[in-house]
A and B are shown apart, each in its own frame.
Chain A
C-alpha cells in the first residue's frame, strides 16, 4: 500500500499558485488518516466482542444442554456397569433341561510363596508337608532356601487347609483367589460335560478353560460376559441320564461286556435326553489321556460319539426302507434267500438257512443277510450310497462337542459290488452309535431328517424329507415285528410298543480280518411304534452271556434285554404313557376333585448376573 504523503508536492505547488493555504491540504490528509485508523480499531474491537460472546453462548449452551439431559434421563447407578462386570462369575453354569445344576463354580484359594519374605523357611516347609501329605518337606525346604522369588504350592485347597496354612503365620505364604469348576453329580454325564482346567494363571485370578466335551465346545459362550451369566441349558435330563447309567452299568456287568453305550433321543426335536458311555470318569478329577495303546481303553473315550463300530444288522432297515420308498418292493414281496450267495470270489451266508424265499418283512424280522443283499442289489450302488449319505453316515455329526469331528465314520473309498453288499447289512462301514440314533430317528420321524443336539429348546429348521412318510411308517412297522416275533423278542416292554433291530458285528482285528469271539452287539429301537417319540440305541462292546443253550454273543441275547430294562426304567421317567388294551371304566365324579396346582420348584436357578 502506498502511503499518501501529508504534503503532496504537486497539490502544494498548485495551491500556492492559486494563493491558497497549503496547510489546509495537510490538515485534510491528517483527518483522513486518523479516520482510517479509527475504523480499523473499531473493526478489531467488534471482532473480539463477537468472539467473546460466542464463547459465552457456547459455554452456557453446554451447561444448559447437560442440565437438560440430566433432567430428562432416568436415574441410573453411575458405577453399576463397572461393578457388575466384577460380580459375574468367570464362567456360566451348565444345567440340565429342568435347570438342575450340572456344572458350577466355587470360590477357593490357591497358595503361593515368596521365599525371600519368609521368616522361617524350614519350619514353613515342614508345616506345609504336614498339612498337605502329597508335598515333600525336603523338596520344599530346598525351594524355599534357594534363590527363587516366587513359586506356586497348591492350585486349589479346601477352607480347612487354608486356615491351617494361615495358622502357620508365615508372611511369605500368600493366598490368591481362584474360581474352581465343580461337577456336583460326579460321574453322571461325564463324557458330555468333558471337564475343565486352568489356563493363564495369575496371582489374583486364573482362567478356567474347558478341556473336552460341551465345556470346550461352548468355551467362548460360557466365558462371554455378554450373556450376563445365563446358564447353558443342555437337553440332558439328569434323572434319566442317571437311571440310564445305572441300568446300563448293571447290564454291562451281567453281559460281561468291556464297554457299553446308551443313547436316548427325542425323535421330533433331535434333543438327546441321555447319552452314556461306560466306563466313565469323574470330571472333577479328570484322568490323564492314554499316551499309547488303544484310545478306546481309556475311560475318557466317548463310545457314543467317538466310537466307530461296524453296527451290523441294524443297517438292514436302510436298504429295505429305501426299496420301499422307491416302490421296488412292498412288505410282502418275495425275496430270494438261498444261502450261501456268491458275489465274485466272496460268499455271503445267513446265520441259519431260512429256505429259498422270505417276504421282505421276514428278511428284516429274521435278519437275513442274503435277503438284504438282494434288495440292495435291486436298488443299485449309486442310489444306496446317496441314501446313506443323506442319512448322515458319511460325515461327522454336527453335535456340540469337540469330540464330534473325531467320530467321522470310516467309509470305504471304493464301492465294488461286494462292499455295497456288505454295507447293506452293516459291515465295512463303521459309524458311531449316535449316527445310528440319528438315522433311526429320521426313519421314525416320517422320513424327515433329524439332527441330534445337546442344547435344549433351540428352534432349528425342519429337516429335509429324505424318505416318503408311507415307506417310513412301513419300515417302523417291520421293526415292530422284529420285537414281536423276530430276533429281538427279549426287548419287548409291555405298554411301550418297542420297535427295533438287533445287530451283531464281529470286531475287526487291528491287523486286519475279524475276531471269531469278539463282537459289538447293538440294539437300535424306536418307541412307541404307533407314534414314535423316542429312539434308543444300546451298544455293548464284547458281551457274552451264558444261558441254557450255552454261551451266546448275539445282540438278541445281550443288547436287547439290556435295552428292554432301560426302556422299562426310562419310559415312565420321561413321562410316556403306556399303551394298554385294558379299558378302564370312566367314573363320573361325585364331586369336583380339587387338584393341587403343580408346586413351583423351590430352588429357582437364577442367572448369576
Chain B
C-alpha cells in the first residue's frame, strides 16, 4: 500500500508542476497579447485624435460659411431669424394619404 501512495503522490506533484508550467506560459502569452492590444489601442487613439482634429478643422465655421456662400444658388441658406420657429400645435398638417385600396375587397375583409 505504501509504495502505491508514494507513486500517486509523485505523479500528483508532477502533474501539478506541469499544470503550473503551462499556466505560467499561458499567462505570459496573455500579457504579451494584452500589451499588443494596448499598443494597438494607443495607435487607434492617436488616429482618432487626428480624425477628430480633422473633423473639427473641416467643420470650422469659417469653412462652412464659405461653402454656404459657394453653394448659395443651390441651397439658398441664410442665417436663422426670429419668427422662423413655430409651435407644433400651430401647424396644419395635411391629412395623411389614405391607405391603398386592397385589390380584392371581398377577399381582404379585415377581421376586427
Besides the known contacts A87-B38, A104-B56, 18 further A-B residue pairs in the complex with CB atoms under 8 A apart:
A79-B34, A80-B34, A83-B42, A86-B42, A87-B41, A100-B56, A105-B53, A106-B50, A107-B50, A242-B65, A572-B80, A578-B83, A578-B85, A580-B83, A586-B89, A593-B91, A595-B88, A605-B52
Is there contact, CB below 8 Å, between A104 and B52? yes
CA distance A603 to B31 in the complex (A): 33
**A37 contacts chain B at the CB level, 8 A cutoff:** no
Tell me the chain A residues, 67-124 only, with Cβ under 8 Å from chain B. 77-80, 83-84, 86-87, 89, 100-101, 104-107
Contacts of A80 in B (CB 8 A): 34, 38
| B35-54 residues at the A interface, CB under 8 angstroms | 35, 38, 41-42, 45-46, 48-50, 52-53
User: Secondary structure at chain A's binding surface: helix, strand, loop or mixed?
Assistant: loop
On whether the beta carbons of B95 and A591 are closer than 8 Å, the reply is: yes
Task: Write the nearest CB–CB distance from B61 to chain A, whole angstroms.
Answer: 4
**Is B35 a contact of A79 with CB atoms below 8 Å?**
yes
Contact A89 B49 (CB under 8 A): yes
Cβ-based interface call for A185 (8 A)? yes
Give the interface size bracket for B toward A: 35 or more
Closest Cβ of chain B: how far from A329's Cβ, in Å? Answer: 35
Main secondary structure of the interface of B (DSSP, over half): helix
Q: In the bound complex, do residue A188 and residue B61 qualify as a contact, i.e. CB atoms below 8 Å apart?
A: yes
Q: Is B76 an interface residue (CB 8 A)?
A: no
Interface residues of B in 72-100 (CB under 8 A from A): 79-93, 95-96
CB neighbours of B21 from chain A (8 A): none
A585 lies within 8 A of chain B by Cβ: yes
Closest-CB distance, A246 to chain B (whole angstroms): 7
Interchain CB contact under 8 A, B61 and A78: no
- Asked whether any CB of chain B lies closer than 8 Å to the CB of A587, the reply is yes
The CA-CA distance from A329 to B48 in the complex, in Å, is: 63
Binds B, one of A194-202, A338-346, A438-446, A492-500: A492-500
Would A584 and B62 count as touching, CB distance under 8 A? no
**What would be 26 A-B contacts, judged by CB atoms less than 8 Å apart?**
A80-B34, A84-B38, A86-B42, A87-B45, A89-B49, A101-B52, A101-B53, A101-B56, A107-B46, A185-B60, A185-B62, A186-B60, A186-B62, A239-B61, A494-B82, A495-B83, A568-B82, A569-B79, A572-B79, A572-B84, A584-B90, A587-B90, A589-B89, A591-B95, A608-B45, A608-B49
Contact B65 A246, beta carbon cutoff 8 Å = yes
- Does B55 sit at the interface, judged by CB under 8 A? yes
Partner of A242, one of B49, B62, B86: B62
Query: A238: CB under 8 A from chain B?
Result: yes
Q: Please tell me which one of the listed residues B38, B60, B82 contacts residue A572 in the complex, with CB atoms under 8 A apart.
A: B82
